Amino acid sequence: MSQFPDSPKQSASPAVRFFSGENIPLEMHKVRVVQKLNLPPVEERLAAIRRAGFNTFLLTTREVYLDMLTDSGTNAMSDMQMGAMMQADDAYAGSQSFERMRLAIEEVFGKRFVLPAHQGRAAENIICRTYVKPGDLLPMNYHFTTTLAHIELNGGKIAELLHDEALQISSSNPFKGNMDIAKLRHAITTHGVQNVPLIRMEASTNLIGGQPFSLANLREVAAVAKEHNIPLVLDASLIGENAWFIKQREPEFQQASVADILREMCAQADIVYFSSRKVSSSRGGAICTNWPEIFEKMKALIPLFEGFLTYGGMSMREIEAMAVGLRETTDETVINQSPMFIRYLVERLQAHGIPVVTPAGGLGCHVDAMSFLPHIPQKEYPAGALAAAFYLISGVRGMERGTISSTRDQHGHDILADVELLRLAFPRRVFTLSQTKYVEDRLHWLHTQRQLIGGLRFVEEPPVLRFFMGRLEAVSDWPEKLMQAFRRDFGDSL
Ligand SMILES: *Cc1c(COP(=O)(O)O)cnc(C)c1O
């Protein structure tokens, strides 16, 4: 396996190599519209993170220099997308914009029937209402937060069937998102095929660090699904990056185009759904299939929850942008941008001895807070503390993916997360190399000062999804001490 992630074939760009031998992610686009950014001084950042209850979700973008919270709805738009938005055909029913989007989906994903939805979780609502009943079990490689919520809302449970090593922080496994086929067979047999309404595979598995599955594995899952007559559902929200990793890491597909890989991936699944917030940097989403009976089964729910069948809660401008964005997903110089920047940062941080999730994935760079801050017990939220500390000393906003994002058991004790991660998302074609080097520089400095960082405790804790709106405080005066160390080492620098 080790030949894959470190292979010299995986150059910085498929086309351009550097004389220096450095792995520099080269942009195949230029900037034509810009947004001014603001980097408030460290004293203001301390006041801001206090006001935000040490929760980066509660900062405003005015207080943030680089917003690496998420890639959702924050990828850069192309000139082609902006141009297409001007030809939006506003109509309640039968819009030509919808027809253009349907054709793009047919071309890129190879699926003829399209049900529009206003975003990914809305597609999940429609699918789960149709297929999931109390007592059902849904096998999947790994859950996504909104998917799990919709399955549980309809009385179902999930079985997460990754290979055991997929949750190891440091690994050379090129396909951590693969499903363990033996576990899948076991889950179907023990739960009863009649209680397994769907099998779900998620491309670039989000919550384990944007990690891909292989096409060989997807084909095996599809074979088991077919053998048991269970529909296979593909969550294609992050499919472009997964296809690019397949081309990079799976020998059978080295010569294939990303467009061919995308169609081959979708061909394995009976139902493909996606959040266009990730796929194409527009808004919206859709459910697609080639089976008329599957289309008919869900059709009636679209006007009820989303809107008429030719808009599904989206504006025509969003639909036009989605059509163009889907086609751009097949362009390697577009789709390789986030993975290349992520790999660059991961390699630079490793060179400084900073613990990160490897191999580099497709969504963001994930810093391992548990080994960054071994002196902070999990009940004092090391990933949350690292996210707050990093914002304080850099103005860069990441997302906590650890115990704060978890919940409590019936005795009121925290259910400790498997991993404590600070996620630094790389929305597609948004940040430059010098901004990426700034992130590297500030994280490097923070690592040398890590003993100064202390824990957090809740002061306001919502009962559900506490990570969105919860407020915390520092367990000591560590934020002031960290700010003083910053001033000592950086003088009057921002
Ligand atoms: C974001 C995401 C969703 C949900 O999509 P929304 O548009 O945010 O509702 C579902 N699945 C995956 C894998 C995602 O990344």
Check residue 8 and give its pLDDT.
38
Q: 90 is in which domain, residue-wise?
A: 79-330
User: Does residue 118 fall inside a structural domain?
Assistant: yes
Check residue 442 and give its pLDDT.
98
* pLDDT tier, 81 (very low <50, low <70, confident <90, very high otherwise): very high
User: Does residue 26 fall inside a structural domain?
Assistant: no
* pLDDT tier, 473 (very low <50, low <70, confident <90, very high otherwise): very high
- Whole-angstrom Cα distance, residue 123 to residue 152? 15
* pLDDT tier, 14 (very low <50, low <70, confident <90, very high otherwise): low
Ligand 1 centroid to residue 242 C-alpha, Å: 15
Of 52-61, 102-111, 141-150, 242-251, least confident by mean pLDDT is 141-150
Strands of the 399-401 sheet, one edge to the other: 364-368, 421-425, 399-401
Of 199-203, 232-236, 407-411, least confident by mean pLDDT is 407-411
458, 353: one domain: yes
Segment 124-153 mean pLDDT:
96
Q: Which of 291, 309, 330 is the last residue of a domain?
A: 330
Ligand 1 centroid to residue 41 C-alpha, Å: 34
Is residue 487 annotated as a catalytic residue, yes or no?
no
Check residue 400 and give its pLDDT.
96
User: Does residue 51 fall inside a structural domain?
Assistant: yes
Query: Residue 135: is it exposed, middle or buried by C-beta count within 10 angstroms (0-12/13-18/19+)?
Result: exposed
User: Does residue 103 fall inside a structural domain?
Assistant: yes
65, 127: one domain: no
Calculate the average pLDDT of the chain: 94
Segment 242-271 mean pLDDT:
97
Share of the chain above pLDDT 70, in %: 97
Q: Is the CB of 111 under 6 A from ligand 1?
A: no
Candidate list 109, 144, 213, 245, residue with the active-site label: 144
Say if residue 5's pLDDT is above 60: no
Say if residue 23's pLDDT is above 90: no
125, 244: one domain: yes
305, 200: one domain: yes
Q: Strands 421-425, 364-368: parallel, antiparallel or unpaired by DSSP?
A: antiparallel
**What separation, in Å, do the N-terminal and C-terminal C-alpha atoms of the chain show?**
44
* pLDDT tier, 341 (very low <50, low <70, confident <90, very high otherwise): very high
316, 233: one domain: yes
Say if residue 4's pLDDT is above 50: no
Ligand 1 centroid to residue 145 C-alpha, Å: 8
Check residue 472 and give its pLDDT.
98
Candidate list 102, 277, 278, 423, residue with the active-site label: 278
Say if residue 245's pLDDT is above 70: yes
User: Does residue 37 fall inside a structural domain?
Assistant: no
342, 323: one domain: no
Check residue 204 and give its pLDDT.
97
Say if residue 13's pLDDT is above 80: no
Q: Is the dihedral of CA 218, 224, 227, 229 positive or negative?
A: negative
Q: Is the CB of 481 under 6 A from ligand 1?
A: no
Say if residue 12's pLDDT is above 90: no
Which tens digits make up the pLDDT trace of 103-112? 999 999 999 9
Is residue 341 annotated as a catalytic residue, yes or no?
no
Q: Is the CB of 318 under 6 A from ligand 1?
A: no
Yes or no: say if 69 and 425 are a contact pair by the CB < 8 Å rule: yes
Which tens digits make up the pLDDT trace of 447-460? 999 999 999 999 99
Yes or no: say if 436 and 341 are a contact pair by the CB < 8 Å rule: yes
User: Does residue 224 fall inside a structural domain?
Assistant: yes
Looking at ligand 1, which residue's alpha carbon is closest to its atom 4? 120
Ligand 1 centroid to residue 249 C-alpha, Å: 25
48, 115: one domain: no
Query: What's the structural domain count of the chain?
Result: 2
Is residue 278 annotated as a catalytic residue, yes or no?
yes
Which tens digits make up the pLDDT trace of 346-384? 999 999 999 999 999 999 999 999 999 999 999 999 999
User: Does residue 52 fall inside a structural domain?
Assistant: yes
Match 């943030």 to its residue by tokens.
64
Q: Is the CB of 144 under 6 A from ligand 1?
A: yes
Is residue 330 annotated as a catalytic residue, yes or no?
no
48, 114: one domain: no
Residue 8 CA to its chain's centroid (Å): 27
User: Does residue 349 fall inside a structural domain?
Assistant: yes
- Whole-angstrom Cα distance, residue 203 to residue 362? 10
Q: Which of 330, 349, 382 is the last residue of a domain?
A: 330
Candidate list 235, 295, 327, 368, residue with the active-site label: 235
Is residue 89 annotated as a catalytic residue, yes or no?
no
355, 474: one domain: yes
Q: Among 222, 184, 183, 194, which residue's Cα sits nearest to residue 133?
A: 194
Q: Which of 330, 354, 377 is the last residue of a domain?
A: 330
